[in-house]
Structures are given as structure tokens and as C-alpha cells.
Amino acid sequence: ALLNDLFGIQSRGGCMCAGPYSQRLLGIPYDLAKKYEEELVQTRSEVVRPGFTRLNFPYFMSDEKLDFVINAVKFVAEEGWRLLPLYRFHKETGEWRHRSLGPKQILGRIWLGELDFFDDVGDGPKKKQGPPLSMKQCFEEARSIASNAEKIIEEKGWKPK
């Protein structure tokens, strides 16, 4: 969620669907993998599923954009914990969503497989947006959000109990 929300970088979750290969990459021995599996079956809570984030780096990506993505991943790895209270985990879907987005946004989702490209899905009211932030501005904004996260959490009453 943070790569998307802070930097506009699309990524996807990787999970243990690749079985032994993923377990080896994550250093998870067979016995521990079985414990994870038992916990998943009992709780149906996706948060305990071991996994990783997958990104694509197309061959035509510029060095500047490649550095941007790598630095964004590094930022999230180092600073993302500060933003954790700004998000809610939805165990039914395995998603982390910003607290400012209510349940309607989640329920109103259109999955890619449900899209009818001949339907007029996009005819609703359009949000006015300015030009996208530059890569430098994205990092400035992300740093500002991370450094002010505690203040935002207190102001909104989102402090964890």
C-alpha cells in the first residue's frame, strides 16, 4: 500500500503459492511452513501468510526511474513502520488500506476480471487532479508524511490501543 500511496508505484503481493522456492527464498524450513499453514487454516487471517512484494522492472525503464523505484522500496523498508497506525488491515482480503478510506471504497471495488471494456465504467464524475508530482517531490512529501505521522495519528484519534 505504501509504495502505491506515497510513490504511485504499482506492486503486488507474492505469497507462498510458489511453495518450496518461496520458502527457500524466505529461509523458512519445512516445519515452520507447516505451522504457518495450520495457523492460516484455523484463523483464515491472511496477515500470517509469509510473503513478499513483487515489482516489475521493464527492460526499457530509464536509470532515473529505476533509481526512483529502488529508493522508494528502501524508504518504505526503513520508514514504513512510522505509517503503520495510519492503515487498517482487512483480514478478509489481506489488504492494508489507509484509514481515511471507508468500507464503501473497499466494497465498491471493481476487480480487473469483472471489467467490461465495452461498458461506460468511467462516465461518472471525474476528480480534478493536478499534474503528477516529480520524483523529488514524491520523496519530499513521503518524508513529510513519515515525520508528521505521529501528529496526524493523534489529531485523527487513530492511536492504537
Examine the pLDDT at 117 and tell me if it is beyond 80: no
| Rounded-to-integer distance, Cα 135 and Cα 143, Å | 13
pLDDT digits (tens, 9 = 90+) for 19-39: 788 888 889 898 998 898 898
**Average pLDDT taken over every residue of the chain:** 80
Structure confidence at residue 46 as a pLDDT band (50, 70, 90): confident
Examine the pLDDT at 12 and tell me if it is beyond 90: no
Which helix (DSSP H) or strand (DSSP E) does residue 88 occupy?
A: strand 87-90
Provide the β-strand partners of residue 73: none
Length of the chain: 161
> Model pTM?
0.70
